[in-house]
Structure 1
Amino acid sequence: MPSSADYRDTHRELVLGCQRKDRNAQRALYGHYAKPMYNLCLRMLRHSHDAEDVLQVAFVDIFGKIETFNFDASISAWIKRIVINRCIDHLKKRRLLTTDLDTNRHDAAAEEDTAPALGAQELSVEKIKNATMKLSEGYRVVLSLYLFEGYDHEEIAQILGISVGTSKSQYSRARKRLAALLTDNN
Structure 2
Amino acid sequence: MKSPDIKEKDLISKCIDGDGNAQRQLYQQYVKAMYNTAIRIVANRADAEDVIQESFVQVFRNLHSFHGDASLGSWIKRITINSAISHIRKHRKFRLVDVDDNFDWPEPEEEAVYAPVDMESVHHAIKQLPDGGREILSLYLLEGYQHKEIAQILNITESTSKTQYRRAKGQLQQLLEPKLS
Same fold judged by TM-score > 0.5?
yes
Partner of 1:108, secondary structure, is coil
Structure 2, unpaired ranges of 5+: none
Structure 2 residue aligned with 1:148: 142
Query: Paired residue for 1:72?
Result: 69
Q: Deviations over 1:108-158 (max 9, x none)?
A: 35x957345663322001111111111110111111111111111111111
Cross-structure match for 2:107: 114
Q: CA deviation at 1:23?
A: 1.6
2:59–2:76 Cα contact (<8 Å) kept: yes
Query: Aligned match of 2:98 in 93, 99, 102?
Result: 102
Q: C-alpha separation between the residues in 1 aligned to 2:98 and 2:166?
A: 16
Report the counterpart of residue 136 of structure 1 in structure 2: 130
Distance 1:119 1:20 in 2: 56
Is 2:14–2:22's contact at 8 Å kept on the other side of the alignment? yes
Q: Tell me the C-alpha RMSD between the 2 structures.
A: 2.2
The gaps in structure 1 that reach 5 residues or longer are none
| Matched residues, number | 177
Q: Which residue matches 2:120? A: 126
SS of equivalent residue, structure 1 residue 123:
coil
**Whole-angstrom CA distance in 2 between matches of 1:40 and 1:46:** 10
Normalised to the residue count of structure 1, the TM-score between the two structures is 0.85
Deviations 1:30-60 (A, max 9, x none): 1111111111111111211111111101111
Percentage identity across paired residues of the two chains: 41
Give yes or no for contact 1:97–1:137 (8 Å, CA) kept in 2.
yes
Q: Structure 1 CA distance, aligned partners of 2:13 and 2:83?
A: 24
CA distance in 2, matches of 1:98, 1:115: 26
